[in-house]
Structure 1
Amino acid sequence: MEKLEAWTGMGQDSVLEVRVTLVDSEPEIWRRFELWGSLTLGQVHQVLQAAYGWEDAHLHRFVASDPFAPLQPVDGEFPEVPQWLPGQQCEEPGDRPEEDCSLDQLLELGSGEAFYEYDFGDSWLHQLELVSRRPADENSPPARLIDGARRGPLEDSGGFPGYEEIMDALADPSHPNHAEQSSWVADMTGSAEPIDPAFLDIPAVNRALAGQF
């Protein structure tokens, strides 16, 4: 991934503790970060990609409320629901450039909550929740992973049903798809080493984040 763009200076006095949960994951896949409130949503996207081990290979969006919740009409009409995308992908009336909105601003719009969806086919939907806020100091990095559980699902694994089938096949050498799925996972990860879905390497994530700024 490309290095993050320069800090814009908005919200420069705030470090936000944000919990990010992969919606419908069981066991729960989650991350807890300390993030500058001034990070643009494009920068937050890159942070989340690093934290879940993804390759920025698919479309994504941010929204201030659950994008799959039923809409309620207002005066007989359904309201426009804004979504934040990379500027070059904004085509619809409700589209907003993610480069023009900070994490602080999005969470304020969502009353401390927001959503991030990656890969509209597999639909990896994340809920972002503001836990706390504190003043930044000169030692506050722009992004730091402080806790979490489980590795991110593999790219192109077919959402949770597909990912669970892959993990089942990998865990059982007698499974009819074990060899095929083992080969596919090795191609996806670039390694023949077995993967542990329960393992999250927090220091490795933070090294990746440090390299983005």
Structure 2
Amino acid sequence: MAPRELADHRVYRLKIVLEGTEPPVWRLVEVPADLGLSHLHLVIQVLLGWEHAHPHAFEFGRRRYSEAGGVGAGDLDEFEAMVGEVLSRKGSRGVYTYDFGDDWRHLITVEATGEAEPGTFYPRVLDGHGGGPPEGCGGVGAFERLRRLRDHPEELGRGDHSVAEEQLMWVEMLEPDELDLAKIREELRELFGGTALHEGGGGLSPARPVTLPPEEELAAAALETSPLRELLALTRWVSYGIKLTGTGVPRPADIRAAVGRLDLWPHACEAEAEERAERVRKLRSGRDLPEFLDLWDTAVALGLIEVGSARAYTCAELLVSGPTPGRVLEWWTELFGSTIEGSFGGEGTGSGGGDPLCGEVELFYLALRMLYEAPDGFEADLAYLGRTVAAGAEADLEDLDLAGDLAAAEVFGDTGAASEHAAGHDGFLSESVLEPLYLMMHEVAEVGAVRLVDATSAEVREAVLDQNPFGPSNRSDQPGPAIDCLAVLTPLGRYGVRQYLLATGIPAPLTE
């Protein structure tokens, strides 16, 4: 499958070097991880002073991206990919080529990743040197000759007056090597709407101070989650290299061996396990087992598995010294964020195409924020939580008082009172809101962010199997029984939500 959308709002520091220039023409810029490649193209145009007059393309490994219907028949659509998908970690590289006549190649390298600074406008240029080439000057060789002529005007024309005049015209078009960074910043601000991408966190109030366990304890909990355990088991199985097919995935025999040895998908029901075992037995290509390809692509996207031309290898830090707790939490945080936004390559959960402030995804982030505001270890009734979130989504987010909503029900205690406060009508929460919330809670439970408590009796559970299992609990006026499910934000989940809050500019202090 295609890489998953990693809209986690982390910031990538990119060094962009115009290949073949000496001294190098380079720029240092910070961009959000969820910046689209189509927008990264515009950023580079501003940084180098290009005029957006020629075709372009990106290359990351064996994948090439361009505008839809653009330069290459096999190209992927740059409008469907983001920086965080194609550049997964520090040291990741790619190439942006502009004008296939002059062939300007820009080497893009991730120098660092980190959290966005509150109130900061992104994309943000930090540094750079060397004016960009004049459009259409003939390529990097011609550009270097113009730079030399600028510094050695005595060489202009070598006695040929007409040649000297033409050369002087091009030399005068050269930009100064000392950049006007303030001007570039202003151009970026105008291009991207004049508003900081992470300014003020959408007006939501600061989060309550929380306590987190030590990093080592959180990392140990992350390593116990099924998704990360399976990823690391697959990564270590690759070890010092396995052969790949022409499509860049393991051969069918190796996939069968991996599935047999690694105890993947341990929570599958008996019917699912039998059906998968039959598909594994008949496996003729990786496409016949998409769940394995999902796991494989995720490991590659996170940098756990490094893919060469014909072989794949375990990343060096796992082979040599083992990951640090910080590195483990970085992997887990990406899994947590991508679980909410949608699968690596799957469809987003929100109606907004994966945007964290659209549709069901927005509702779920609000639900997680409310769990974060509740006392540590509190068991929140999902039906009430859904009603409150739905009411908050209808209100202006700037006026959303999360603490007040919690207090109205004595922190989820009185669901009858909470229903009237949160819903503002007959208290009935439509299936369209509660069902996605319920299902997504099960998804994040898999990554260890929440613990679910099913308080439904066996008799009621059987009674609703053929009915709607997502109706509000504790509602005497709702016909028929309903599933009664409680959710608890784990310490690992608290860490993940805090990382999201910080990345979107919302203050999230820790207690001393």
**TM-score, normalised via structure 2 length:** 0.33
| Paired position in structure 2 for 1:205 | 184
> Alpha-carbon deviations, 1:96-133, whole Å to 9, x = none?
11000001111129972111111111111111111111
Q: Is the 8 A contact 2:131 2:179 kept in 1?
A: yes
Question: Structure 1 counterpart of 2:64, which letter?
Answer: Q
Secondary structure of the residue aligned to 2:44 is: helix
| Paired position in structure 2 for 1:78 | none
| 1:180 and 2:166 are equivalent in the alignment | yes
Q: Is the 8 A contact 2:56 2:98 kept in 1?
A: yes
Secondary structure of the residue aligned to 2:87 is: helix
Q: Distance in 2 between matches of 1:160 and 1:27?
A: 12
| 1:141 and 2:137 are equivalent in the alignment | no
| Paired position in structure 2 for 1:56 | 52
Q: Distance in 1 between matches of 2:117 and 2:6?
A: 15
| Paired position in structure 2 for 1:73 | none
Q: Which has the larger radius of gyration?
A: 2
Q: Distance in 1 between matches of 2:133 and 2:6?
A: 33
Q: Distance in 2 between matches of 1:166 and 1:130?
A: 30
Which structure's relative contact order is higher, taking Cα pairs within 8 Å and 6+ residues apart?
Answer: 1
Relative to structure 1, the CA distance from residue 33 to residue 140 in structure 2 (aligned partners, 3 Å threshold; closer, same or farther) is: same
- Give the structure with the higher percent strand: 1
| Paired position in structure 1 for 2:359 | none
> Alpha-carbon deviations, 1:58-89, whole Å to 9, x = none?
11100113xxxxxxxxxxxxxxx431001132
Q: Distance in 1 between matches of 2:72 and 2:155?
A: 49
Relative to structure 1, the CA distance from residue 29 to residue 91 in structure 2 (aligned partners, 3 Å threshold; closer, same or farther) is: closer
Q: Distance in 1 between matches of 2:177 and 2:85?
A: 33
Q: Distance in 1 between matches of 2:78 and 2:84?
A: 13
Relative to structure 1, the CA distance from residue 111 to residue 201 in structure 2 (aligned partners, 3 Å threshold; closer, same or farther) is: closer
Relative to structure 1, the CA distance from residue 207 to residue 56 in structure 2 (aligned partners, 3 Å threshold; closer, same or farther) is: same
**Cα root mean square deviation, aligned:** 2.4
> How big is the shift at 1:185?
5.8
Relative to structure 1, the CA distance from residue 111 to residue 29 in structure 2 (aligned partners, 3 Å threshold; closer, same or farther) is: closer
Give the number of equivalent residue pairs.
182
| Paired position in structure 2 for 1:85 | 66
> Alpha-carbon deviations, 1:11-64, whole Å to 9, x = none?
252111111111121111111111111111010000000000110111110011
Q: 1:100 aligns with which of 80, 97, 115?
A: 80
Q: Is the 8 A contact 1:64 1:110 kept in 2?
A: no
- Give the unaligned 5+ runs of structure 1: 1-8, 66-80, 190-194
| Paired position in structure 2 for 1:29 | 25
> How big is the shift at 1:134?
1.4
Q: Distance in 2 between matches of 1:137 and 1:26?
A: 34
- Give the unaligned 5+ runs of structure 2: 158-162, 193-512
Relative to structure 1, the CA distance from residue 90 to residue 157 in structure 2 (aligned partners, 3 Å threshold; closer, same or farther) is: closer
| 1:159 and 2:139 are equivalent in the alignment | yes
Relative to structure 1, the CA distance from residue 196 to residue 85 in structure 2 (aligned partners, 3 Å threshold; closer, same or farther) is: closer
- Give the structure with the higher percent helix: 2
Relative to structure 1, the CA distance from residue 106 to residue 183 in structure 2 (aligned partners, 3 Å threshold; closer, same or farther) is: same
Q: Is the 8 A contact 1:40 1:98 kept in 2?
A: yes
Q: Is the 8 A contact 1:172 1:178 kept in 2?
A: no
Q: Distance in 2 between matches of 1:120 and 1:204?
A: 28
**Identity fraction in percent:** 27
Secondary structure of the residue aligned to 1:15 is: strand
Q: Which moved more, 1:157-166 or 1:123-132?
A: 157-166
**TM-score, normalised via structure 1 length:** 0.76
> Alpha-carbon deviations, 1:183-206, whole Å to 9, x = none?
3566xx5xxxxx454222211111
Secondary structure of the residue aligned to 1:32 is: strand
